[in-house]
């Protein structure tokens, strides 16, 4: 099993009609939070390999098979030489198409339906929202895209962030001898 890497993959939507999260305020006050009425979004395709503290992301205007293929190409290029990536992902329509089976160093492990708690990338999305992407207003798609890129780069740039947040005992390869 030394020739296998476990990667976790998912997508998140970020945009003008965004997320409101808790915020600090003086006791007895009710802070105002921004909530835009526009509906422009960007989508972050993200994948992490906790064992190597490695991450790959792609920000696109919509989700689908084409975006997934580009994302998989980037993951394929980051897999260690001589290894195969087993990518754990959900059952979104663009994850289940046979059009994705074109990378010789990538295999898929699809999670059961409605089980986001099994995918640690969901916690990465929560970190990005809590620390960078929530309670904001965005002028346009370009600003949304830049914010997504900046948030991802800042988070994965912290050494050990991916390993500490996304490691799962059940996904460690040495457990399966």
CA distance 60 to 13: 10
d(CA 70, CA 49): 18
pLDDT confidence of residue 137: 81
The per-residue pLDDT for 29 is: 84
Q: What is the pLDDT along the chain (177 residues), one digit of tens a residue?
A: 679 999 999 999 998 655 656 667 788 887 766 665 667 889 999 999 999 999 999 999 999 999 999 999 999 999 999 999 999 999 999 999 999 999 999 999 999 998 989 999 999 999 999 899 887 888 999 999 999 999 999 999 999 999 999 998 877 766 545
The strand ranges marked E within the chain are 4-15, 41-49, 54-60, 84-89, 106-110
| Residue 37 confidence (pLDDT) | 64
Domains and CATH numbers, the chain: 4-16+36-170 (3.30.420.10)
Q: What is the pTM of this model?
A: 0.85
Q: Residue ranges of the alpha helices (H) in the chain?
A: 65-78, 93-96, 121-128, 141-156, 161-166
> What confidence score (pLDDT) does residue 16 get?
61
pLDDT of residue 79: 97
For 130-161, letters b (16+ CB in 10 Å) and e give eebbbbbebeeeeebbebbeebbeebbeeeeb
């Amino acid at each position: 099993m030394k020739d296998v890497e476990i990667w976790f993959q998912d997508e998140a939507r970020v945009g003008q009609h965004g997320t409101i999260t808790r915020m600090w305020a003086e006791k007895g006050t009710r802070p105002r939070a921004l909530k835009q009425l526009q509906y422009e979004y960007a989508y972050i395709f993200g994948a992490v390999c906790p064992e190597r503290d490695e991450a790959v992301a792609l920000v696109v205007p919509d989700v689908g098979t084409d975006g997934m293929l580009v994302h998989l190409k980037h993951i394929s290029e980051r897999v260690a030489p001589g290894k195969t990536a087993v990518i754990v992902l959900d059952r979104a329509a663009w994850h289940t198409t046979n059009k994705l089976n074109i990378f010789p160093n990538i295999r898929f492990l699809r999670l059961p339906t409605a089980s986001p708690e099994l995918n640690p990338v969901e916690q990465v999305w929560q970190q990005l929202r809590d620390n960078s992407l929530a309670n904001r207003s965005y002028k346009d798609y370009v600003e949304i895209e830049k914010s997504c890129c900046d948030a991802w780069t800042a988070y994965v740039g912290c050494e050990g962030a991916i390993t500490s947040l996304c490691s799962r005992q059940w996904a460690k390869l040495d457990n399966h001898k």
